[in-house]
Amino acid sequence: MRDKTFVLKGDLCYSKDPRTLETVENGYLVVLEGRSAGVFRDLPEEYRALPLEDWTGRLVIPGLTDLHVHAPQYAFRGLGMDLELLDWLEARVFPEEAKYRDLDYARKAYGIFAGDLKRGATTRACVFATAHTGATELLMDLLEDTGLVTMVGRVNMDRNCPDTIREPSAKASAEETVRWLEDTAGKYRRTKPILTPRFIPSCSDELMERLADIQRRYGLPLQSHLSENEGERAWVQELCPASRFYGDAYASFGLFGGDVRTIMAHCVLSSDEEISLIRDRGVYIAHCPQSNANLASGVAPVRRYLDADLNLGLGSDVAGGSSLSILRAMADAVQCSKLHWRLSDQSLAPLTVPEAFWLATAGGGSFFGPVGSFAPGYEVDAVVLDDSRLKTPLELTIQERLERGVYLLEDRDVIKKYGSGTALW
């Protein structure tokens, strides 16, 4: 474990809490066996013999967490976003995802996705694959090789989609899921399976019951979609007439948080009752502002979720979102919250940059444990940013450099990356 024990020097920025950014100029982050032993203005005597990674003058931030991203959609990022959700799934997503039956295609496409994810500022991600076991395992192999820590889901879908992508039955879908779990059990250090029913419209009642059974047996976390779009919400109500609201449909199958970690992406249209259940069950919301703009879904009331102390992070939602960058997702979250405030609800104050930064780091990171901060005890995922490209005659504080960076830095400005205390490249 010696390689996980060192001192990282630089202009350190991390969240103290959802509203407060902590910055230490020329500070020292002491990493012992991959975890933070604290941040210091002056390096204590006892740590002076440790190897020093010297990034003086560079911004050093916690690695970013992408709570919601579709790997097979990366191939068509930035394309065809002129439809709303349900039409977009039919016209763009399902035809593309059907291609992942072909392992050669999957290898090419997932190789690009994994390479770009490795290069950028993200160190943790929750990833949707497709309903193809082979391609999903291939994606897990590729992600394991990046050094990133990820959860990957083989997608379940047995209704309301074209034959090319629909699983033949609930039973077959469940059995294939078990085969996938058995195949990959113990195979990876950093890549874990996550149960992934696509969303209620794609999953029959029988399938949901079978997945709940699998979840109990394997103790798996779960990811899915919730209350993204009006048409989707109305459809769920038709499909599950007994449910009181969309989230209640998941809950009725025992698949809505509680003992197991659960992420629901979007929550643009969640009702008071749904929000209340999200809080009670500790469900994570993956806020995906760019996707919600691109597919004209709207803007999730993030201020409300923050004020209610919900579990909350950011998602790129590629390819509803066109960019894989969680730096960009922070800026989008702030900008969209301002438009939501202006156009929809002036009781919900816009997000601040420190709040968006918290969402992208400690907020989403906590899904993976003590991740997303440099406070003592946290696993050290860290990203070194070179902002010297952004020239200005002004003298900026570290907080200002971070604020500007949220709007203007790009993945190419990441010059070094550590995951769980290890250099990733």
Does 352 interact with its own copies (rule: CB under 8 A)? yes
In whole angstroms, the minimum distance from the beta carbon of 81 to its own copies comes to 8
**74 or 358: whose CB is closer to its own copies?**
74
The most distant pair of C-alpha atoms in the chain lies apart, rounded to whole Å, by 66
Could you tell me if residue 372 is left (phi over 0), alpha (psi between -120 and 50 degrees) or otherwise beta?
Answer: left
- 422 interacts with its own copies by CB under 8 A: no
Q: What are phi and psi of 404, to 5 degrees?
A: -60, -40
Interaction between residue 168 and its own copies (CB under 8 A): no
Give the C-alpha separation, 290 to 126, whole Å: 17
Question: Of the candidates 163, 252, 268, 151, which has an alpha carbon nearest to the alpha carbon of residue 200?
Answer: 252
* Minimum CB distance to its own copies smaller for 235 or for 407: 407
- Give me the 400-419 binding string for its own copies, x by CB under 8 A, dash otherwise: x--xxxxxx-x-x-------
- 300 phi-psi bin (left φ>0, alpha ψ -120 to 50, beta other): beta
Nearer to its own copies, 203 or 409 (CB): 409
For residue 146, CA distances in Å to 62, 69, 119, 125, 335 come to 17, 16, 9, 12, 31
Query: What's the CA gap between 386 and 55, in Å, rounded?
Result: 10
Out of 77, 132, 281, 416, which residue is the one contacting its own copies (CB under 8 A)?
A: 77
CB of 396 or CB of 415, closer to its own copies: 396
Interface with its own copies (CB under 8 A), residue from 47, 341, 358, 418? 341
Give min distance, CB of 69 to its own copies, in A. Answer: 15
State the pairing for strand pair 64-70/122-128: parallel
Applying CB under 8 A, the span of 87-95, 102-110, 243-251, 416-424 interacting with its own copies comes to 102-110
364 binds its own copies (CB under 8 A): no
- Span interacting with its own copies, options 55-63, 104-112, 147-155, 370-378, rule CB under 8 A: 104-112
CB of 91 to its own copies, least distance (A): 14
Contact residue for its own copies among 44, 51, 57, 78 (CB under 8 A): 78
The rounded distance, in Å, linking the Cα atoms of 335 and 349 is: 12
Member of 298, 313, 315, 421 binding its own copies (CB under 8 A): 298
Report the residue number, 164 or 344, with the smaller CB distance to its own copies: 344
Residue 322 within binding range of its own copies, rule CB under 8 A: yes
Q: With CB under 8 A as the contact rule, which of the stretches 50-58, 171-179, 274-282, 398-406 interacts with its own copies?
A: 398-406
Rounded to the nearest 5°, which phi and psi values hold at 250?
Answer: -60, -45
Residue 260 Cβ vs its own copies, minimum distance, rounded to whole Å: 33
The answer to whether 293 contacts its own copies (rule: CB under 8 A) is: yes
Closest to its own copies by CB, 57 vs 397, is 397
| Residue 119 beta carbon to its own copies: minimum distance, rounded to whole angstroms | 11
Q: Is 290 in the site for its own copies (CB under 8 A)?
A: yes
336: contact with its own copies by CB under 8 A: yes
> Do the beta carbons of residue 84 and residue 93 sit within 8 Å?
no
Handedness of CA 150, 156, 162, 165 (dihedral sign): positive
Spatial separation of the C-alpha atoms in residues 152 and 193, rounded to whole Å: 5
By CB under 8 A, which span of 49-57, 127-135, 259-267, 399-407 interacts with its own copies? Answer: 399-407
Bond into 319 cis (ω within 30):
yes
Please select the residue that binds its own copies; options are 65, 202, 224, 323, rule is CB under 8 A: 323
Closest CA to 417 of 17, 58, 30: 58
* Distance (Å) of CA 73 to CA 107, 117, 241, 253: 14, 13, 31, 28
Are 220 and 193 in contact by the 8 Å Cβ rule? The answer is yes
Interface residues toward its own copies, by CB under 8 A: 74-80, 82, 105, 108-109, 112, 115-116, 290, 293-299, 322-323, 331, 335-336, 338-344, 350, 352-353, 390-394, 396, 400, 403-408, 410, 412
